Structure 1
Amino acid sequence: MSKQDKLGLSRRRVLASMGAIGVASAGAGLGTTAYFSDEESFTGNTLTAGELDLKVDWQQTYNGPIPGSDGEVGDHAVNAYPDTAMDDQSYGDGLQDLDGVHYSGAGETEPVFDAAEIPACCDCEDDEYYVTYGDESYCIEPLSGEESVEDFYDYSNFAAQNGDITRADTSVIFLYENTANGELSLVVVNDDQEANGGGVASYTLEGAPNGSGFTGTGDWQEQDDGPDPYSEWTADWAWQEGYTDGGALGPLNDEFAIRLSAAFNGAAAEQSRREDDGIVEEVMILSGGSGQDSDEIVLESGLDESENNEVGPVTIHSSCGIDSGSELDVPAVFQSENYPDQEHLVEFTDVKPGDSGEITFSLHLCDNPGYVWMTAANFSQNGGTLTEPEIDAILDQAGNDGPTTVDEVEDSGHLAEKVEVTVWYDEDCNNVYDEDEVNEQDEVVEEGEEAIFEGTLQELMENTFELENDEDEGMVQLGADCYPARAGFCIGFEWEVPTSVGNIIQGDEAHFDLGFYTEQCRHNDDPGNSTAENGTPTPTPTGTPTPE
């Protein structure tokens, strides 16, 4: 018998036994060997509360005595916000503008943009320009070079010397800055030399500063200065395969706002000059860099021959953003050349029968969609000092049911019950209520703007907007649905003292507040009835017409 036989263990049994001992040892030792393991982590997590910021601007006019005119009466500007002609040394002209770009529905200048289009919500840097298209907005930088825009946009040689900028089957829009003199221009380039087929395109450029020039054919055309500070340029292009086309507009003022509208392919004007079957498929804006390394912002893609071939409006603003609420410099924002001492939005001290006033508010919801209400509060009135004509008018109106002697007269004020008020959606933001147009048969041939309220100032305040099933006294919801973020709209508020009123309002005063309130739309099943931490905010601004 071998030694192995005496032990009675084979090699296989020995190994198995050692394995068993090893497992037992590992179990007893707890840690002498490592388990399989893995780890996944997500660091730097952040929850940030969103924002809902309602910004309000306005243009106010008054049809009454014009300050400093020796008694002349007429419709004139009272105050506006923004009115950036105002600085520490002088007052604004009372007409709505943002850094020189006119938005007011009042005054002699016809604006290219209205107050709803004021870029109220943006936060671009000083060296950036604000672009909007549809519901989207962007901050862009110009492309730059040391050449003049005429040399940069060399019609005969642009594609060869600027191949990094052109894009096949694409209409490219960008700003160009001449670093030698700081002049800024707008450039449009259609297609690329390497693209298959040519194309057709039509552009309209509105808001160009008067005195600017345009090239689209190689000849620089200049616009003569005139009474209108804004110019409109149109360009219709048709190009063959192996070519590009486009144009340049400039120089632009330091402060400007431009609107571009474009049509391509089957919607463009120059169909008769079209020689190839190429189409423009995409429209983009370039930002910064030199072309090849520029950021590309695609505004529209998938353009084709039969449809989807109109683009616009695209707007480019040199300035954007306005203050609101507690950020406003009160009372300075209520003051102007005509009314340098005004401390409230509405503040007239010599209102007479026949006078009227109007305010168009434009509202801008920043960051998120929201419900919006107009609010009214703090209404009061008093009779002021009784005059003899007013006493006689009160006695005549009272008849047998009222006072019969001067000693019995108590005047708590009649102004608010006599002032006629209209509140409406001012769709064109022009400070005018457009009523229905009717023919001789009293048939409506053209619908006007939608009225929110028509009545007296007292009815407006005491029955405060009990409309649209809104049970919250003091608020009326403006529109039943959410307003989208960054979409502006205008509300008109007009008051008038009829000429038929007579002496009964002499010396009377009316005081009231107007304001606007917004709530988020998301997760809001009962808009207007929620209770915020600080409650419904006090409406601002305030108004106090006080005739004498």
Structure 2
Amino acid sequence: MDDNIGLSRRQILAGLGAVGVASAGAGLGTTAYFSDQESFANNTLTAGELDLKVDWQQTYNGPIPGTDGGVGEHPVNAYPDTAVDGESYGDGLQDLNGIRYSGAGETEPVFNAAEVPACCDCEDDEYYVTYGGESYCIEALSGGDPEDAYQQIGVRSEETDFQDESRSTVFLWKDEDDGDVYLFIVNDRIDTETGGTATYRIEGSPEARWVSSDWVVQDDDPSSDDYYDDPDSSDQVAVGNWIWNGENTDGGVIGPVNNNGTQGDFALRLTPELNQMAELHENNAGSYPGWFDDNNWAPLTRLTVLDGDASNAITLEDGIDASGESVGQITIHSSCGIDSGAELDTPAVFRSQNYPDQEHLVELDDVKPGDTGEITFSLHLCDNPGYVWFTAGNFSQDGGRLTEPEEAAMGDSESDDGELAEYIDVTLWYDDDCDNVYDEDIETPIFEGTLADLMDELGVVEGADGESDDFAGMLQLDADPDDGGDVECFPAQEGFCVGFEWEVPIEVGNVIQGDSVGFDLGFYTEQCRHNDGSGPDN
């Protein structure tokens, strides 16, 4: 066999020529290549916000308007203060749609002024929840009778959206038939291998809201170790205590918390005491040998609140250990948000039943030796932490008409320019409990002296300040005044109170007759980030 293939030189060249023509043809067509593209659309940069909201409660210990000579401590004005009796003003005691926050008055409210839900903007059908410095707007779940509803989600059911192993769940339930709102608490999940323990203490405000409220569902039969305390007007506290085994959940329903729907607003503070913090755990640890070991008992590890739907659980606290010590308080407000600055309806905001014609924060025209007054300001930084300053300006005095007793008391003085500021004692302090009272044993003063001394401390020159919105003097406040270190920023979403008290000493006498003093008070804030707290340049 001849394996040689014979190719002449001409044949080889002809073949190469054909290849060249084919290559040239390919080059004249489209060229294939790899490609890729990444894009980032709809980019935005939005400036953040820093909004300082201030509310207050003012009282006066002096003549009480409309009492034919009565003298005593009484409210002057407050903000917020819900209008009453069809008027454009309220009773002078701080409240938000009927929920009391004022430290003044005869009864002590559950919530104080620092807890006014000032910054939120929940919708009308939402409720404002705060926990651990975070806030949420939630909707109530809704349906029929709450007792029937609990049977569908409580110990006899496997509705796992409402239940979860090692989870304590709270939510609001609105009865669609009458608008009543109830608070549900469901602990753990049925058919697990281990049980648990929990206590919830529930405070309501104001006390009138508790009149018709009760534990409408008390999970487990009366022979169990669980027990429930209904709220009453004396302490405004309801308590639920639970202990359960691995076959059950546990919990209960209390309400209506909105006092039969039509009266609407409410505020609740829930104090969960879980695991070893629970009252039944502490009381029964020695009574049930083996019950609280790892085979029968397990800690609740999560705390959640439901938002509008059983499947929408907001985790408030995760990783709770057996001690339960990391768990904080939950607050729920049915209404929230206040105006500030130019949004305020002035001068109406300064009026009350006692002072229906007042047009400024402080406007008292018959002050006598022995009179005192006090304003507790509560401040709320919305959105971002900030440095805060107390400010003053537009300081002026007037001697008024020189009376004969005043002239005699002045002695050799040739003119009466007004000395009232020199005879008004002022205390400015951090009012930790916002109760309108300076407790000098436990609360920290910011300034103590006369009103004239305060203006001097701030560098305010009498009669030299300009327009009413110019503040000549600033005094920096400190979020942690007792640590002795650098000035600390105030956190966002947490209120704090500053008290301003004045007194005309009873021994002053005639030298101040007819004198008057005018001044502005205010607060200034600037963001913490990128600032050192030294304040504005001008």
Q: TM-score range by the shorter chain?
A: 0.7 to 0.9
- Pair 1:279-2:295 in alignment: no
| Same amino acid, percent of matched pairs | 56
- Pair 1:183-2:177 in alignment: no
- Pair 1:15-2:14 in alignment: no
Say which SS state the counterpart of residue 331 (structure 2) adopts: strand
Query: 1:73: Cα distance to partner?
Result: 0.6
Residues 157 and 463 (structure 1), Cα distance of their counterparts in 2 relative to 1, 3 Å cut: closer
Query: 1:295: Cα distance to partner?
Result: 1.1
Say which SS state the counterpart of residue 160 (structure 1) adopts: coil
Q: CA RMSD in A?
A: 2.5
The 5 Å alignment of 1:468-483 reads 474-479=473-478, 480-483=487-490
Query: 1:193: Cα distance to partner?
Result: 0.7
- Pair 1:304-2:314 in alignment: no
Query: 1:260: Cα distance to partner?
Result: 0.7
Q: Which moved more, 1:307-316 or 1:486-495?
A: 307-316
Q: Report the AA paired with residue 107 of structure 1.
A: G
Residues 264 and 345 (structure 1), Cα distance of their counterparts in 2 relative to 1, 3 Å cut: same
Task: For structure 1, list consecutive stretches of 5 or more residues without a partner in the other structure.
Answer: 27-31, 404-408, 437-447, 467-471, 532-548
- Pair 1:516-2:523 in alignment: yes
Q: Which moved more, 1:78-87 or 1:506-515?
A: 78-87
1:367 is matched with 383
- Pair 1:415-2:384 in alignment: no
Listed one character per residue, the Cα deviations across residues 345-391 of structure 1 (whole Å, up to 9, x for unaligned) are 00000000000100000000000111111100100001011100000
1:338 is matched with 354
1:489 is matched with 496
Residues 328 and 376 (structure 1), Cα distance of their counterparts in 2 relative to 1, 3 Å cut: same
Query: 1:509: Cα distance to partner?
Result: 0.7
Residues 155 and 15 (structure 1), Cα distance of their counterparts in 2 relative to 1, 3 Å cut: closer
Contact 2:202 2:268 in 1 (8 A): yes
Listed one character per residue, the Cα deviations across residues 213-255 of structure 1 (whole Å, up to 9, x for unaligned) are 11434689896875x5x72011211011111111111001211
Residues 465 and 238 (structure 1), Cα distance of their counterparts in 2 relative to 1, 3 Å cut: farther
2:69 is matched with 71
- Pair 1:452-2:452 in alignment: no
CA–CA separation in structure 2 for the residues paired with 1:136 and 1:278:
28
Say which SS state the counterpart of residue 342 (structure 2) adopts: helix
CA–CA separation in structure 1 for the residues paired with 2:164 and 2:401:
76
- Pair 1:106-2:104 in alignment: yes
CA–CA separation in structure 2 for the residues paired with 1:70 and 1:235:
50
Residues 309 and 493 (structure 1), Cα distance of their counterparts in 2 relative to 1, 3 Å cut: closer
Query: 1:463: Cα distance to partner?
Result: 2.5
2:467 is matched with none
The 5 Å alignment of 1:188-199 reads 188-199=185-196
CA–CA separation in structure 1 for the residues paired with 2:147 and 2:109:
29
Q: Which moved more, 1:499-508 or 1:11-20?
A: 11-20
Residues 87 and 36 (structure 1), Cα distance of their counterparts in 2 relative to 1, 3 Å cut: farther
Contact 1:422 1:493 in 2 (8 A): yes
Listed one character per residue, the Cα deviations across residues 9-59 of structure 1 (whole Å, up to 9, x for unaligned) are 163564256536755x57xxxxx5465433221111111111000000000
Residues 314 and 495 (structure 1), Cα distance of their counterparts in 2 relative to 1, 3 Å cut: same
Residues 526 and 281 (structure 1), Cα distance of their counterparts in 2 relative to 1, 3 Å cut: closer
Query: 1:522: Cα distance to partner?
Result: 0.9
Listed one character per residue, the Cα deviations across residues 128-163 of structure 1 (whole Å, up to 9, x for unaligned) are 00000011111111111112x233334996532755
CA–CA separation in structure 1 for the residues paired with 2:229 and 2:274:
26
1:406 is matched with none
Contact 1:159 1:166 in 2 (8 A): no
2:218 is matched with 216
1:29 is matched with none
Could you tell me the TM-score, scaled by structure 2's length? 0.86
- Pair 1:352-2:368 in alignment: yes
Q: Which moved more, 1:324-333 or 1:517-526?
A: 517-526
- Pair 1:319-2:321 in alignment: no
Query: 1:176: Cα distance to partner?
Result: 0.8
CA–CA separation in structure 2 for the residues paired with 1:132 and 1:3:
93
Residues 87 and 380 (structure 1), Cα distance of their counterparts in 2 relative to 1, 3 Å cut: farther
Contact 1:371 1:527 in 2 (8 A): no
1:239 is matched with 244
Contact 2:242 2:251 in 1 (8 A): yes
Listed one character per residue, the Cα deviations across residues 259-307 of structure 1 (whole Å, up to 9, x for unaligned) are 1111222221112176322221111111112x2xx311111111222x3
- Pair 1:144-2:138 in alignment: no
Say which SS state the counterpart of residue 328 (structure 2) adopts: strand
Query: 1:462: Cα distance to partner?
Result: 2.6
Say which SS state the counterpart of residue 39 (structure 1) adopts: coil
Query: 1:126: Cα distance to partner?
Result: 0.4
Residues 183 and 20 (structure 1), Cα distance of their counterparts in 2 relative to 1, 3 Å cut: same
CA–CA separation in structure 1 for the residues paired with 2:304 and 2:95:
29
- Pair 1:433-2:447 in alignment: no
Q: Report the AA paired with residue 165 of structure 2.
A: A
Query: 1:165: Cα distance to partner?
Result: 1.3
1:444 is matched with none
1:167 is matched with 164
Contact 1:85 1:100 in 2 (8 A): no
- Pair 1:267-2:277 in alignment: yes
Q: Report the AA paired with residue 77 of structure 2.
A: N
2:532 is matched with 525
Contact 1:334 1:342 in 2 (8 A): yes
Could you tell me the TM-score, scaled by structure 1's length? 0.84
CA–CA separation in structure 1 for the residues paired with 2:514 and 2:154:
75
Query: 1:67: Cα distance to partner?
Result: 0.6
CA–CA separation in structure 1 for the residues paired with 2:489 and 2:149:
46
Q: Report the AA paired with residue 269 of structure 1.
A: E
Q: Report the AA paired with residue 436 of structure 2.
A: N
